[in-house]
Structure 1
Amino acid sequence: MGVSETYVRGRRLAREQPFAVVVGLVALWVVWFLLDGLATGSIEVNDVASYAWDGLLRGLIVGLAGIGLSMTYSILNFANFSHGDYLTSGAFSGWAVTYLLAGLGEANVGSLLLVGAGGSVFGGALGIGITTSPIAVVAGMVVAGVATVALALVVDRFVYRPIRDEGGITLLITSVGVAFALRYLIVFVFGTDVRGTTAAGSVPQMSVNVVDGAVRVNAHDLTLVVVAVGLMAGVHLLLQRTKLGKAMRAMSDNEDLARITGIPTEQVVRYTWIIGGGLTGVAGYMFVLWKGTLGFNDGWLLLLLIFAAVILGGIGSIYGAIGGGIIIGMTASMSVIWIPSEFGRAAAFLVMIVILLFKPQGIFSGRTTA
């Protein structure tokens, strides 16, 4: 192949697939930078591996929470800004049950149900962890999902359903009001203090060997991976193998046609809230289990990353939410190799903007449930 032919092909590729060219150039630059840093000793292999592992876990949380947001948009056609506070509500509900089961007989029941508000009870003192109190943790995770489902159904019944025909903007603004109402209700009940929830010393760790060091992986990390991957696989099977999944995809593609063909659209909406709410509540609980602290604005702070993941993956795409979440999580964590850690979120949004410049519809291009 001659130089001129190579040049022509390169120009054609740049014109037809600019996104692939940009991604390729960025990937080459990242690889070169890492190899140069590893060669000179300015970057350690185990640091890179640790950041990558942290990014993967963060991405799984964002992706899992993003599925519910993406489903809401796909089926109901509005961006639910109260989604982050659903996540927080599920987290507090689940951790109230975990505290109660782990500390029953050791502390006041009221203090346990308030998740140690005001420093009355500490999760570390109760020895809470997946290996030390597995029943309490599993029960809390289940309750987090169920409580968020109940919350989502109640809000939909009394707030969203009466104005559903008014359009997406009305629903969006209403969801902002719901978000503030939920957030300050949580503050009223549980307080504003950020509390530690797990006993760090009681969480077993293991070292995964890399070239020049080791990456620390604890039991909560592995629990997060198992739960997130399992739920994502379950959503995939539901969408592809069940009548409900087919009905959801049909309603996402064309609601009017779905209604004409006899699909019970109101039932599909109800199941959308059930599935999305359950996943969001579990994501909130697992987020707290992973990072070890719980605060009233956790979901609100995470919401921007969730929106970024959903937009990046392609609004309305379940698989896009998962893929976008992993990309956002990896970027936010890996970027600290080059920039200060406080700019990690900014780097994630920058990557989202750059990708959308070349692929405006998102990576999975299209508004589809599957």
Structure 2
Amino acid sequence: MGIAETYSRSRQFVDRRPLTHSLAAAAGVGLVLYLLWVLVSQLVTGQLQIHELGELMWDGLMRGLVIGLAGVGLSMTYSILNFANFSHGDYISAGAFSGWATTYLIAGLGRADIGSLLLVGAGGSVFGGALGIGISTTPLAVVLGVVVAGIGAVALSLFVDRTVFKPLRGEDGITLLIASIGVAFALRYLMQFVFGSDVRGTTSQPPAYSFYVVDGWVRVNYHDMTLFVVAIGLMVGVHLLLQRSKLGKAMRAMSDNGDLARITGIPTEGVVRWTWIIGGALTGISGYIFVLWKGTLAFDDGWLLLLLIFAAVILGGIGSVYGAIAGGIVIGLTASMAVIWIPSAFARAAAFAVMILILLVRPQGIFAGRATA
């Protein structure tokens, strides 16, 4: 049984039981009211300041944009190729490492050993902070890093598709899923072997703007703004591509019915290739700007993000690009703001709990019925 069929049966199971819907809705309303009461109580008693709430919301938005952007690539792959690509998280890491190797090389050329720069300071050989890396201090290095991160992830996506996924294209989704898990492990430990397992700092402290909010200052730095502009720009670009271009129409047609698209003369292999190109570029760039935003890089960054990305894609509606974006923002905000109510160690669990609760009320996801476009 394929993933799509399993998901469809689960949705029908919930849809046939109105009592389940009602109980889930009632539980959801009760939970929301309780969380609001706790939040208001903390604000009134001074346990939580309004500017602290603003910082948590901004952090959640930044995290959500990264998850949503990476989720667009995963959602496109699923809607057109009909399998869940578990190696997607390692494409994020691969894009991040290729981009940051470029940034280190350009920012540190003549100031450090080239090998250490290309290995992104493996073993503490060189630090991004010491090189003064940042969007305001080394803009050319950062911009070229973003470009190379996208190109690197595209090249990896096309290579893996040609060598692993294309020969299995006629198999069911489970076969491709298992193959993608194998690819994920191979890529992850190859990156660990090449770049090392240490977590390294990548940037210097960026300049920031401070905004006064009632009782304190909320700081928004240059890397936050870079992430925001790049993510929103790419999301708008994907929307225009899907809605206004011939390629976008072909992708939507193949997403709706691959066999019919093939019969009507749509070059399906070309569409698949462009799916990997666009999805890979978005994935690699999301990995790079995620590292730029948080300031550290590790070989398993993408793997740690993967479950949150899957949660966002499922929450938004499997196969929906817009749903992936919306789901990513919901998951990001939940993961960041959950510390108001529970210990920070359980923040990720809270994101999945919200996903489950919303799916009980709306099993199709937030953007039900909206596939690739």
For normalisation by structure 2, the TM-score amounts to 0.92
Residues 360-369 or 129-138, more deviating: 360-369
Aligned with residue 38 of structure 2, among 21, 33, 43: 33
Q: Deviations over 1:325-369 (max 9, x none)?
A: 000000000000111111100000010111111222211123610
Q: Helix, strand or coil for the counterpart of 2:169?
A: helix
What does residue range 138-149 of structure 1 map to in structure 2 within 5 Å?
A: 138-149=143-154
Residue 246 of structure 1: aligned partner = 249
Residue 319 of structure 1: aligned partner = 322
Q: Helix, strand or coil for the counterpart of 1:339?
A: coil
Distance 2:83 2:171 in 1: 11
Aligned with residue 297 of structure 2, among 272, 276, 294: 294
Residues 14 and 21, structure 1, Cα contact 8 Å, conserved in 2: no
Distance 1:277 1:41, change over 3 A: same
Q: Using the TM superposition, give the Cα deviation of residue 155 of structure 1 relative to its aligned residue in structure 2, in angstroms.
A: 0.6
Aligned with residue 191 of structure 2, among 178, 186, 189: 186
Distance 1:57 1:27 in 2: 23
Residues 19 and 359, structure 1, Cα contact 8 Å, conserved in 2: no
Aligned with residue 171 of structure 1, among 173, 176, 181: 176
Q: Helix, strand or coil for the counterpart of 2:209?
A: strand
Aligned with residue 260 of structure 2, among 230, 247, 257: 257
Matched, 1:338 2:345: no
Aligned with residue 238 of structure 2, among 232, 235, 241: 235
Q: Using the TM superposition, give the Cα deviation of residue 125 of structure 1 relative to its aligned residue in structure 2, in angstroms.
A: 0.5
Matched, 1:354 2:352: no
Q: List alignment gaps of at least 5 residues for structure 1.
A: 1-12
Aligned with residue 42 of structure 1, among 41, 47, 51: 47
Q: Deviations over 1:106-154 (max 9, x none)?
A: 0011110010111111111000000000000000010000010011001
Distance 2:26 2:209 in 1: 39
Q: Using the TM superposition, give the Cα deviation of residue 14 of structure 1 relative to its aligned residue in structure 2, in angstroms.
A: 9.2
Residue 132 of structure 1: aligned partner = 137
Number of corresponding residues: 356
Matched, 1:77 2:78: no
Distance 1:14 1:218 in 2: 48
Distance 2:30 2:349 in 1: 21
Equivalent AA in structure 2 for residue 89 of structure 1: A
Instruction: State the Cα RMSD in Å.
Output: 1.6
Distance 1:151 1:296 in 2: 16
Q: Using the TM superposition, give the Cα deviation of residue 30 of structure 1 relative to its aligned residue in structure 2, in angstroms.
A: 3.2
Q: Helix, strand or coil for the counterpart of 1:322?
A: helix
Equivalent AA in structure 2 for residue 107 of structure 1: A
Q: Using the TM superposition, give the Cα deviation of residue 261 of structure 1 relative to its aligned residue in structure 2, in angstroms.
A: 1.0
Aligned with residue 222 of structure 1, among 225, 250, 273: 225
Aligned with residue 273 of structure 2, among 261, 270, 274: 270
Residue 115 of structure 1: aligned partner = 120
Equivalent AA in structure 2 for residue 42 of structure 1: Q
Equivalent AA in structure 2 for residue 126 of structure 1: L
Equivalent AA in structure 1 for residue 82 of structure 2: N
Residue 160 of structure 1: aligned partner = 165
Residues 158 and 277, structure 2, Cα contact 8 Å, conserved in 1: yes
Residues 75 and 248, structure 1, Cα contact 8 Å, conserved in 2: yes
Distance 1:215 1:16 in 2: 40
Q: Using the TM superposition, give the Cα deviation of residue 57 of structure 1 relative to its aligned residue in structure 2, in angstroms.
A: 0.3
Q: Using the TM superposition, give the Cα deviation of residue 28 of structure 1 relative to its aligned residue in structure 2, in angstroms.
A: 3.5
Distance 2:230 2:197 in 1: 29
Aligned with residue 281 of structure 1, among 273, 281, 284: 284
Distance 1:117 1:180 in 2: 20
Equivalent AA in structure 2 for residue 220 of structure 1: H
For normalisation by structure 1, the TM-score amounts to 0.93
Q: Using the TM superposition, give the Cα deviation of residue 315 of structure 1 relative to its aligned residue in structure 2, in angstroms.
A: 0.6
Q: Using the TM superposition, give the Cα deviation of residue 167 of structure 1 relative to its aligned residue in structure 2, in angstroms.
A: 1.2
